[in-house]
Structure 1
Amino acid sequence: MTTALPTTGFGPQLRHWRTLRRVSQLDLAIRAETSQRYLSFLEQGRSQPGRTMVVRLAESLELSLRDRNTLLLAAGFAPVFPESDLAAPELAPVREAISAVLDGHLPYPALVARPRGELVTANAAFDLFTEGVDPDLLRAPINVLRLALHPDGVAPRVRNLPEWGRHIMDSLRGRAAHTPDPALDELIAELSSYLPPPCPGPDHVGFAVPLHLRTPDGDLRLITTLTSFATATDVTIAELHLEAFLPADADTARILRLRAARHRSTP
């Protein structure tokens, strides 16, 4: 479980984040180009920072844009990073770019999701993960993490579920440790309950393994890549991540191309 974030006061929040990042006052002061004495005064509430200093400290602690806004509010400043509706007209170029990336990844599956797994959009090959699953799991908003590991979702078709599930859970726990989120903690607890205990054999080489998925067309082995919008200055965009699946062998690539061709020929 992650540590709860203090709800009030700039000093306690700054100290919380510094402790969570395991950074000393001296190291943070060097990163933020200030003095350890001044930083100590900030944490004790004996000094009040300017807005530029708050932003500099937040950047030095590698806070998300959302958490940078929260730290600004705690210091008495208005948030500087907007949080737009993804459907807003001003984000049309972003939506078009995302759509182009997803379509360009075909015939391989790709999707865009929010931090807790809520599906934003996906390309046509995503149907690989919706075949035969409980319709309740496909009701909006679809959670792709729940879809992947739920007993009524994709899990029964995953031949290496203990290893693949551990890979997903390790990634989520790392995210929760970096940015505390009680809702994500709850999701982690739920998803963990769906997984069998891992039983590493003599040939075990770690849990970052390809997804071994059974399909009517044959078994697939897929590796994944995760891409974040690291230079975004809008909270909504910055919190999205793109997950793209790639074939781990020639048979998987062939099967995915055949599936795509079959879908194109279906009226």
Structure 2
Amino acid sequence: MTETITPSQPVLEEAAQRLLDAEALRTPCAPVRDLIGRDDLRAAYDVQRLVVASRRARGAVVVGRKIGLTSDAVQQQLGVDQPDFGVLLDDMAHLGGDTIPIDSIMQPRAEAEIAFVLAQDLADGPLDLAQVRASVDYAVAALEICGSRIRNWDIGFTDTVADNASSGAFVLGPRHTRLHEFEPKDVVMSLSINGTEAATTGNGAACLGDPLTAVAWLARQARELGEPLRAGQVILSGALGPMRPVTAGDKVTARISPLGAVTVTFTEGES
């Protein structure tokens, strides 16, 4: 059996700097798995924390978390058996109807999700499905605009984790729906680009069987890492269907019944 060697701090910092330089120069970089390995989850999250810390030092504020790799197909593609997560920052946030400069997100791809806004901290207790349900203030239809600093989306599990779970931006819809009004696992989703359906219809069960199950998983992971979920934070619970690439001029709309619709348009130029 091959022994896993934990990367040194300078190696972790080198991986983080590679991703930060790619972002600053707007030039995708080589995968970081050559530095931190393909399977070292702890190292990947260590790099993610360094990347996020650098952005926070420049003024960004944490406003929530995102869950990725919630579909069986994507997990199989990357050879993993669990989701991942990243950090949402205030400079990633948009409202439905906004425009986003296409060059502000590297290699952008859009996907439809349910976003939950928390009314209570998820820091103590069992962090089970019942507690998560009781802690949610409301849900909204959301678009996640994924982005990758890794050239040609050539990602393995540690690459996407280190790259803040391939985060780019997120867009929240206008309608606030309480959990007593719907069951997240039963929602129906369609994604269209310029009025043409771009993803097969999906439902809430595509996200770990129930988007609230994904949030419970995240709550336990976040607490274990010493950064529990807090009241007021936005939680993107995971894709309800496949990602689709977007280009300048595209108008993307997600319809998630009964949460309503959310739309964003991509424009030329940088933010």
Q: Bin the TM-score by the shorter chain.
A: under 0.3
| Richer in helix (by share) | 1
- Give the TM-score of the pair, scaled to structure 1: 0.25
| Richer in strand (by share) | 2
The structure showing larger relative contact order (alpha-carbon pairs under 8 Å, at least 6 residues apart) is: 2
- Give the TM-score of the pair, scaled to structure 2: 0.25
